[in-house]
Chain A
Amino acid sequence: MSTQVSETALGSGLTGDDLLAMHRTMVTARLIDEAALRQNRMGRAPFVVPVSGHEGCQIGTAWPMRRGVDVWVPYYRDLGIVLVAGMTPEQVFLGIFSKASDPTSGGRQMPNHWSSRELGIVSHSSPIATQVPHAAGIAYAMKYRNEDAVVASWFGEGATSEGDWHEGLNFAAIHRLPVVFVCENNEYAISVPQAKQMAVADVASRAEGYGMPGVVVDGNDVLACYGAMKDAHDRARTGGGPTLIECKTYRFLPHTSDDDDKTYRSREEVEEHRHHDPVERFATELVDGGVADRDALRIAHDEVKAVVEAAIQAAWDAPDPDPATVGLHVFAEDPG
């Protein structure tokens, strides 16, 4: 099984270095996540949003995107996406500690409300699915200006209940826009299970209603996610229009640091899903496929851990926003 996956990867044009870089990014997301939660429990981070469990679908679907060309429209759980887009662990912690140099908002937004114009990451809010029509509009502008560019928008399955989600997909399909919609289906909208969100088994089945391809993929299989996104990205670039990809995954931790997931799902259920941990699974595939040995992965893990620890320290030491700046940037004429 694992060998077959590696062959798929080679068939997709990924090198061993690519695979190791993907793995390293997944580990980075996982270790940032664990460290952020510790910072929260230590009282240094008022609010954090876990990613653990989503690393496979995030790194897999982000990987075909081109830095400096394509545009990223993520949602708040997308730590893995923004790491691939080029955000550094230190920048992530600047956001977690809401520091003045937080690249997403200078400490104005809650953590995980990603943004960086330099990296092509579009700011989003806390209301759900509002970014989906933005992605369609960006894609319209790309097509109108004949750019060789693609925009991708990520969201949870909860977002697919919102009107904005429908309106965004519908517009994108009508105009065959260069956009990929990626649903990270982790089975819960905070506490509400999928069965109470929709009467269908697959979000992707809705794609047919918009006239675009819908693809279901194992979200814990990073290379399967990569393959699905590579196809969708190519389709978008070559005038084939949008694609809806649904990655079936699971969130191992509560919705946020303020959530108690014991109120709506059993420990047994969570434990069962941890057996499908996308980070562990990919590590096994890399070893079984002869791409790396366990020692090399352990060294990489320790290196990432050191990077994360240094990032926390540097971000914690960075200055807080100046209260005098609270009124800036309401309009363009109020510059900082």
Chain B
Amino acid sequence: MTEKNLVTAIRDTLHDEMAADDRVILLGEDVGARGGVFKVSEGFMAEFGEDRVVDTPLAESGIVGVAIGMALHGLRPVAEIEFADFIHPAFDQILSEASRMRYRTNGDWGCPMVIRAPCGGGIHGALYHSQSIEAFYAHIPGVKVVMPSTPADAAGMLRSSIADPDPVLFLEHKKCYRLIKGEVSDEPFTTPIGRADVKREGTDLTVVSYGYELHRCLDAAARLEGEDGVGAEVIDVRSLAPLDTETILASVRKTSRAMVVYEDNRTYGAGAEIAAVIAEQAMFDLDAPIVRIGGPDIPAMPFAGALEHSFMEPEPDHIFAAMRRLARF
């Protein structure tokens, strides 16, 4: 075991996968000589060569479209979108092409490819370096959407994503990159896509989250235990699509109280889907209305510190306060 931060776990895993399989190709903007703006591929070009670490033109639809072609002809491309905010020109390639290739050919062709995209805010990224994009893509059948939030999950899920026969959108919360550290096995291991993980056990309420918000929920849960003696169970969704409803429902049936916390703006987000699943399938197990905490429905996260803080934390300790209210309902 080695302690690593999230971005190092991603870097090391990607490195090992490239070393183990020459079908794995990395392509994207600045991934080569620059080593990626977050240094995920630092040194890769020198080690693996320019034909495996492809600095592309600044064209996101082309990056994903070319990666689809590579996947169709036997390679295992890992396409990096420099910031998730810039992925939108590639929406059509992901929606109309990658996600439908297998379905529209009745299983004849498939697109084994990974699209990595650093996402999320709280890092002074303003409108175009802070976005949450998961809901757009989790809505699309045929593409898997994951967002691991610990170094071990990032390593295990990246390995699973590269091995997956279908397209995976691998989202990496930038705020977690260096802030979140954890033990990672030195031996190669996989973490399955489509399984949530109970990051903290508890019996009094269920908190479902992912990304950077997960860590804030874990902090709030620890405080709630200390101050009120209330045990919050915190579930890390990890995989937004497919969504592990079984783990979520099992927890809710145990605690009878449910809360969903996510950074994306509230409306039509992942929280709506998770809340709907709970409402549909565990309504009579609940002792309180489902609580949904999302970002404000404003176009994006502003730059000024005070405004950004307001987006992330509209009132002091808002997650902790909501947990306490739900526990006392």
Contacts and interface: CB of A to CB of B under 8 A. Distances in A.
Contacts of B25: 144
Given A123-B104, A171-B62, A174-B57, A134 B97 contact: yes
A104 B56 CA distance: 32
Given A133-B68, A137-B73, A141-B75, A127 B102 contact: no
Contact of B105 (A105, A126, A130): A105
Interface stretch (B88-96, B116-124, B182-190, B245-253): B88-96
Contacts of A117: 105, 108-109
Given A133-B62, A141-B75, A142-B73, A332 B105 contact: no
A74 interface: no
A168 B61 CA distance: 9
Given A130-B65, A133-B65, A115 B108 contact: yes
Interface string B60-79: 01101111111111110100
A136 B102 CA distance: 20
Interface stretch (A32-40, A231-239, A276-284, A323-331): A323-331
Given A109-B104, A329-B106, A170 B59 contact: yes
Contacts of B105: 104-105, 115, 117, 123, 329
Nearest to A145: B74
B106 A108 contact: yes
Given A115-B105, A144-B75, A331-B102, A138 B69 contact: yes
A332 B110 CA distance: 8
Contact of B141 (A126, A167, A330, A332): A330
A71 B73 contact: yes
Instruction: From B51, B57, B70, name the one whose CB has the most chain A CB atoms within 10 angstroms.
Output: B70
B59 A167 contact: yes
A140 B104 CA distance: 24
Interface string A311-333: 00000000000000000111110
Given A108-B106, A125-B96, A144-B51, A137 B67 contact: yes
A314 to B, nearest CB: 19
B65 A168 contact: yes
A142 to B, nearest CB: 7
Nearest to B242: A331
A116 B105 CA distance: 8
> Number of contact residues on A: which range applies?
35 or more
Contact of B69 (A135, A174, A332): A135
A203 interface: no
B59 A127 contact: no
A201 B183 CA distance: 63
A140 B102 CA distance: 21
Contacts of B142: 330-331
Contact of A133 (B54, B69, B96): B69
A167 B61 contact: yes
Nearest to B55: A174
A164 B68 contact: no
Interface string A187-209: 00000000000000000000000
A113 B57 contact: no
Contacts of B109: 115, 117, 122-123
A105 B100 CA distance: 11
A13 interface: no
A336 interface: yes
A167 B72 contact: no
Interface string A44-57: 00000000000000
Given A126-B96, A145-B74, A164-B62, 14 more contacts: A106-B106, A115-B108, A115-B109, A127-B92, A134-B65, A136-B62, A137-B70, A137-B72, A171-B57, A171-B59, A331-B102, A331-B165, A335-B107, A336-B106
23 contacts: A71-B73, A105-B104, A105-B105, A108-B103, A108-B106, A115-B105, A115-B108, A125-B97, A133-B61, A133-B64, A133-B68, A134-B97, A136-B66, A137-B71, A138-B72, A141-B73, A144-B25, A144-B52, A163-B61, A168-B66, A171-B57, A329-B102, A332-B165
Interface of B: 25, 51-52, 54, 56-57, 59, 61-62, 64-75, 77, 89, 92-93, 96-97, 100-110, 141-142, 144, 165-166
